[in-house]
Every structure is written in C-alpha cells, then in structure tokens.
A and B are shown apart, each in its own frame.
Chain A
Amino acid sequence: MQQLLTTSLTGLTLGMVYAAFALALVLIWRSTRIVNFAQAPMAMITTYVALVVVNAGMSYWIGFAAALVSGLVLGAVIERVVIRQVEGKPEINAIILTLGLFVVIHAVAAIIFGSSFRSFPAPFGLRGFEAGGVTIALTGFAVFSICSVAVVMLLLVALFQHTDIGLKMRASAFNQEVSRMLGVRVTRMLTLGWALAAVVGSLSGLLIAGGSLVYPSYMDSVVVYGFVAAVLGGLDSPGGAVVGGLLLGVSLSFVSGYVGSELVAVAALAILIVVLLVRPAGLFSHATARRV
C-alpha cells in the first residue's frame, strides 16, 4: 500500500513535468510542423543559467526568472536565425538541423559550465510528510511542480483562446497563406510560438533539476519521454500532451518501482510502438492518419 502510494505520487509529479515538455514540443509542431529535438539541451542550458545566478548568491526565484527569460530569448533566436531557413523544405532537413543544434548546445554547455554533476536547489523543501502512519512522498517541491505546470497551462489556454495574439498564432498554425492574406505577420507568430515553447521547456528543465543532480546530459532522456507523451496525446493537441504526460509519468513510475529502473526507457519505447501501431494519430488528435 505504501509503495503504491509513493509510486503513484512520484509518477504524478514526474508526469506533470513530462506534460510540460510535451506541451513545448506540441506548440512547436503546431506552428512549424517540426519536432524540436533540441528542446532538451535548450532547457538544460537555461537551467545552467539559473544555477550560475543562484551560485552568485541570488535567490532561487531570481534564478528561476532568469532561466525562463533566457529560454524565451533562446527560442526566439533559434527560430529566427536557424530554423527559418528550413521551414518549407523537406522535413528531413529540419530533423537533422534540430539534432545538430542538440549536439551544439550540449557541447557549448559542457565547455562553458563544465561537465561535473552539480546539485540544484529546490524551494519548499524536500521532506515528505507523514499522515496517519503512512508516509506521503509528496514534498513541498513536488506540490510546487504540479502547481506551476498547471498555472502555465492555464495561462497558455487563456492566451490562445481569449487574446488577439493567441488567435493570430492559431491562425498562422492552421493556414499560413490565408493568415498572411488576412494581415497576420506569420513569421512573427512563428517566432513567438518557439519562444513560448522554449519557456515551457525551461520550466520543465528547472522542475526536473530541483533536488537532483544537474549535468549536461540530464535532460536527454526527457526529450524521448516528452516525445512519447506528445505522440500518445496526439502531436496536434495541447490537451493531449498534458494527458499523455500524466499517463506516461505514472506508467513509467510504476515500471521503475515494481520492475526495475533500468527498464524505464524500454517501457517508454514499448508505449510509443504500441501507440504508433494501434492509433498513430494519438488519443486526442483531430488529424486523419496518412495511409499509404
């Protein structure tokens, strides 16, 4: 019973973080039809920025803000300078490009910040609490993680559904040509989309790092889990990304707790294969599948 509770709670917390990452991937896919494999090292390098700020003596929250801001800037710059060149070209070019960025950002982080494992602070404490003889493995930090991701999602929903800019972004993603004709500055919307996605990605990077060891490769497996979560929910659907993330987080936590932590990546692969074979469009997608 205790282990069930602990495993579920850990899965829930982790699932929210994967949901955030999946959301970032979905945002970029919807706007530019590219899967941004470089999202992981982008999140990693912004977390290092936060670490530098914290090590310089400033509070965690300033570091937190610094990470999100640098994420915003990084996403915008990458879209404008690099990704712009391959939009509209064969998709294999974009994939190779994001992989190239993956490697470059990795190496840059290792050169500037060093490859050693460093600990990363976590606000609100890392102690679980007891209730009626049962340990609830929900630390203050875990609660913070869940809440912050939820807040971000609500903000995004509000942005997309209820603001002008949100409408323009959705229009650009839906049909670039028509939007242009209607006066929407499509390229600006694409850059904004990447910037927002990078902020969400940075948030997930900070949440994974908290209370754990940070090193240049620490986000690498998250890009796989985020991708699986996004595919599970449907690459077109932000809501699906969230649900997919939660489902994946809980399942992987169960695998880790009851089977063995080495098989977590295999479990993710298995889930991915099953989804792609049975329902390739994902659980919540509206797009029809390609059939050849």
Chain B
Amino acid sequence: MSRVAFGSVIGHLRRTPLRRNLIGGLIGLVVVVLVLESVGPFRQGQFATMAYLGIAVGGLTVLTGLNGQLSLGHGALMAVGAYTAALMLHDVDKPLPLPVVMLLSVLVTVVVGAVVGVAAARLHGPYIAGATLALAVAVPGIASFFGDNLGGEQGLSVSTPEAPGWFADAVYFLTAHDVTGTKYLAYVGWFGLIISFVLLANLSASRVGRTWRAVRDDEVAAELAGINVGRARVMAFVVSAACAGLAGGVMAMVVRIAAPSGFTLALSLSLLTAVVLGGLGSLFGALIGAALLTFLPQTITGLGQSLGLSDLQSAQLAPLVYGLTLVLVILLAPAGLVGTIRNAWRRRQSPDPAPIHPQQEAMQ
C-alpha cells in the first residue's frame, strides 16, 4: 500500500514541469562547466556574451510569444540594468557582493518595466511597437543628459569583479583550472541564464502562462472568462523586464562599460531577430537565437572578407543577414527555426493534426 502511494507521488512529481525543468537545468549546468573549462579566454568571453543575450532573448520571447506584446524597447531595459550595476561597480574600492548587485539591477529594471508595462498594457500591435521603439531611442539620451552622474557619452567603466575565494577553490577542486575574471563572468552569466530559464519554463507551463496565452489569443474571451487582461499583460512585461535587467547587469560586467552607445536601436532589433529566429515563445529557440547573435557575425564577416569585400563592408554583412533572416522567416516559416522543426516533427508523429488557429501559427 505505502509502496504504491510512494510510487504515485513520485510518478506525480516526475511528470510535473518543475521536475523536468530542474533536471534540465542541472544537465545544463554540467554541460556549461564542461564547455567553459575546455575553451580559451576569448571563447569564454563569447560564451559570457551569449549568456546575457540568452537571458534577454528568453524574457522577450516569453513576452512576445506567450503574451503577444511586441516590445522593441528591451535594449532600453537592458540599459537600465546595466547602468544600475555600473553605478555600484564604478570606481568603488570594495564593491558589494555580486548577487546583491545583480538583484538590485533586476529590481530597478522591474520597477521601470512595471511603469512601461502599465502604459503599454492598453496598446496593441503597431502602437506598442512604436511606443517601445520610442523608448529604445529615448533612453540613451537620458543617460547623456544626466552626464555628471551617469558618465555621459563616455559612460561608466566597470572593473571586472574578482571571483570569491570559495568559488575559485571549488572550481579548482573540480577541474584543476584557475578562475580568471572572464571565466568567472561566464559562470555568473550562465548560472543566471539557467536559473531564469528554469523559472520562465515553469511560469509558462503554469496557470500564469496559460492566462498569458489566453490573453494573446482572444482578449474578449479572456475578459469574459474572468481574467484581468491588464494585470496579466503587466505581469508578463514585468517578468520580461526582470530578465532584461539581469541581462543588462551581466552585460555591464562583460563589456566593462555602460555607455549610451551600447544600447542602440540595433540592440533591440537584434534581440527581436533572435526571438523570431528561434520561434516566438520557445526558450530553446531563444538559446539558439542568442548563439547565432554571438557567433554568427564573425563567421559572416570572415566570409565577406574572403569574398573580396572590404573590412567595413564585411562588417555590415551580419546585420544584412539578420534583416534578411527576419524577412524570410516571417514570409516562409513564421514559427521560427525551432518552431518549424517542432511542427514538422509533430506532423510526422501524427499525420492528421488539428487545424491550428491562424494567430497561433505565427506564435508557436
């Protein structure tokens, strides 16, 4: 009797998304350690970049894919997180411990995100895109205006934090390698990514996630069903803003500076490209998108140079590829790379799929 009960409890637990996501997270952690220990410092820096981009893209894909709000201003929210972290790490002899700095970046960005989210909650389609576009263009100007405190165009420099003793010892114990500044940041970034992805995955599989999808698919029906549409929208925005804030904080440390020039419209557009590429709503797609954003430019630039283009022209090939990808994906495969593959897989498994709601087809 007790054995059956035990078995059914275990069975219940192992089927829950929480269990699945936690195990996924653990596996991810192991992979991260293996990879980071076996590459050189430049690649570690690139992985750190991929980590913070992944966090930002993950938050954005949940907002856009699950909740249907297209935000072009997440670069600006990253700026908020980055400046918060930079203010605490700039020219300070004894900086606050890193988790505190990260937490503060997240909190400040959450507050800003709440304000923006409330304003955006009543908007739809092109209005929210235009408003967040205006936000993306406006925020760097604020940093320039308050130049005395925020460093102006020159920005705030951030010194790389030292790995705490216990962490360096633990890593050495496991892998016999020392922890350089870059490697520490890569660990911090990936740790943050795994935590946020596990949380996002749980959220999206929970009742909250279902509420968001309901609001996305049919506002009127959701309202009729008793869902507070405005509150659901703001919640989704706030969660994605928290991710952007964390990403910004890590970015400030990886790039070693928080300056207005780092948060151009191009950043927000690249985040969007990564979301669309991976498929709106898919966290795995967000990871793929972030990887492409980090590693593709060098490959493409190298390709351009070998084709005979000048250095400057080759540098423009990467944005060209991003733009073309956006256009082609929307025209040919609206579900994104991951979404399309997933759909193809599903279609192979069950030959007669139920007709997909047209709005859902765009945001799998």
Contact = CB atoms under 8 A, between A and B. Distances in A.
A and B touch in the complex (CB under 8 A): yes
A188 to B, nearest CB: 22
Nearest to B309: A111
Nearest to B359: A90
B130 A227 contact: yes
Interface stretch (A12-20, A142-150, A261-269): A261-269
A103 B129 contact: no
B312 A114 contact: yes
Given A89-B358, A108-B320, A290-B124, A228 B134 contact: yes
Main SS class of interface, B: helix
Of the four ranges (under 10, 10 to 19, 20 to 34, 35 or more), the interface on chain A belongs to: 35 or more
Contacts of A268: 134, 137-138
Interface string B323-337: 111110011001000
B219 interface: yes
Given A92-B363, A99-B72, A266-B142, A272 B326 contact: no
A97 B325 CA distance: 10
B330 A102 contact: no
Contacts of A110: 313, 316, 319
B317 interface: yes
A101 interface: yes
Contacts of B359: 90
Nearest to B152: A262
B119 A263 contact: no
A268 B269 CA distance: 20
A90 B126 contact: no
Given A114-B312, A115-B316, A265-B138, A223 B125 contact: no
Contact of B145 (A37, A91, A101, A260): A260
A109 B185 CA distance: 37
Contacts, number: 149
A95 B141 CA distance: 25
B322 A103 contact: yes
Contacts of B330: 86, 93, 96-97, 100
Given A107-B316, A268-B134, A92 B70 contact: yes
A263 B141 contact: yes
Interface residues of B, number: 53
A290 B141 CA distance: 33
A73 B283 CA distance: 41
Interface string A229-271: 0010000000000000000000000000000101111101100
A262 B145 contact: yes
Contacts of B334: 93
Contact of B323 (A106, A269, A272, A290): A106
A111 B119 contact: no
A265 B70 contact: no
Contacts of B316: 107, 110-111, 115
Contact of A266 (B126, B138, B325): B138
Given A93-B334, A96-B272, A280 B122 contact: yes
Contacts of A115: 312, 316
Contacts of A96: 70, 272, 276, 326, 330
A263 B309 CA distance: 39
Contact of A86 (B272, B309, B320, B331): B331
B39 to A, nearest CB: 30
A5 B131 CA distance: 31
Say what secondary structure dominates the interface of chain A: helix
B226 to A, nearest CB: 14
Contact of A37 (B129, B144, B309, B362): B129
Contacts of B312: 114-115
A35 B362 contact: no
A272 B130 contact: yes
Contacts of B60: none
Contacts of B320: 103-104, 107-108, 111
Contacts of B296: none
Interface centre among A37, A260, A292 (most CB of B within 10 A): A292
Nearest to B270: A103
A90 B358 contact: yes
Contact of B138 (A82, A92, A108, A269): A269
A89 B359 CA distance: 8
Nearest to B363: A92
B265 interface: yes
Contacts of A262: 141-142, 144-145
Point out which of A86, A89, A93, A100 has the most chain B C-beta atoms below 10 A from its C-beta.
A100
A53 interface: no
Contacts of A292: 219-220, 223, 229
A224 B73 CA distance: 12
B58 interface: no
A101 B330 CA distance: 11
B135 interface: yes
B328 to A, nearest CB: 8
B300 to A, nearest CB: 11
A274 to B, nearest CB: 10
Contacts of B363: 92
B133 interface: yes
Given A103-B323, A107-B316, A262-B144, A35 B130 contact: yes
A152 B66 CA distance: 44
Contacts of A97: 326-327, 330-331
29 contacts: A89-B362, A91-B126, A92-B64, A95-B129, A99-B72, A100-B327, A103-B269, A103-B319, A107-B319, A110-B316, A111-B309, A115-B312, A115-B316, A220-B137, A223-B133, A224-B134, A227-B133, A228-B134, A231-B127, A262-B142, A264-B141, A265-B138, A266-B138, A269-B138, A272-B130, A272-B131, A273-B119, A276-B119, A277-B119
